[in-house]
Amino acid sequence: MKANLQRLAREPLLHFLLIGAALFLVYDLKRDVGSEAPNRIVVTQGQQEQLVANFNRTWLRPPSKDELAGLVDNYVREEVFYREAMAMGLDQDDPMVRRRMRMKLEFILEDLTTQTVADADLAAFLQKHPEKFRAETQLSFQQVFLDPKKRKDVEADAQELLIRLNNGIAADSVGDSTLAPFEYRLATHSDITRSLGEGFAIEVIKLSPGDWTGPIYSAYGAHLLKVSERIEARLPALAEIRGLVKREYLVVLKQEQKDLVYKKLRDNYEVTVEPVSSAQVPESELVATVEAD
């Protein structure tokens, strides 16, 4: 990934696209105000078609003649207020405007990220980030529940039932009623946690196929378990999860590329951060701010 980014940073095409994106952004910001006289508004055919398309997406039908006239009137109203607000400088030092412009530029930069990814890059990414894609251990097991509210000595009852279960008594004929399933098929640690809690899942996931064992306690009571199948955690082959790996790879690549572009742009600026007096911000917050920076 690092080598890819270094190669990308030296790519003249990227520099060209970045310059083009910047020019596009400047043009987009200024075209509505600068391309026409301040007191002249032209609602083009393309803009009207866009209004119709937006209406159609919302109402699933084209607008009537009167509705289209209303859409145009609203567009003109918005344009008038926009120009007047810009003339008054209301966009200056507005955090919402700043944030919107940042989002718009980052969106343009994301569009510049190539979508063609070689399998070698995906394989390297998979090996570098196995925790993102590792399949959890899976267990198939049956469980017999013992309700402590219905039993005087749960532990003694559990030991007696273990002997009977391992001697062949039908598991679904003993135990107390519970909302938890009698049988789990290839359940993961996450599945078991959602059903019976984290502590219970930690103990169960250690088990291997064999005889009935227990008791293992959940928040509800005691459980006797018999594991019939166990599939160990593994890292799937790229061919099995290529789509998922590609999505994660592009997320990371886009962020790293945006960071790279920001660094190049940031180098063009001289930034001075004036100190904040302790009277304005508590000392603990000052320390936190410095550490965050």
According to DSSP, residue 240 is labeled G
CATH architecture entry for 138-231: Roll (3.10)
Contact between 272 and 157 under an 8 Å Cβ cutoff? The reply is: no
Predicted confidence at residue 292, as pLDDT, reads: 46
* C-beta neighbour count of 257 within 10 angstroms: 21
The token pair at 197 is 């809690």
**CA angle, residues 20, 25, 27, in degrees to nearest 5:** 95
Longest dimension (CA), the chain: 94
HSE-up of residue 151 (Cα within 13 Å, Cβ side): 17
Give the tens place of pLDDT for each residue, 215-273.
999 989 999 999 999 988 888 888 888 889 888 888 888 888 778 877 877 777 776 76
Could you give the CA distance from residue 243 to residue 133 in angstroms, rounded to a whole number? 11
Q: Which residues of the chain have pLDDT under 70?
A: 1-38, 108-115, 271, 273-293
Q: How many residues does the chain have?
A: 293
Residue 216 forms beta bridges with which residues? 223
Whether residue 143 contacts residue 227, with contact meaning beta carbons closer than 8 Å, is answered with: no
Please, where in the chain does CATH 3.10.50.40 lie?
Answer: 138-231
% helix / strand / coil in the chain, to the nearest 5?
A: 55, 10, 30
Angle at 284 between CA 283 and CA 290, to 5 degrees: 90
171: closest CA among 228, 231, 220, 229?
228
State the pLDDT at residue 235: 86
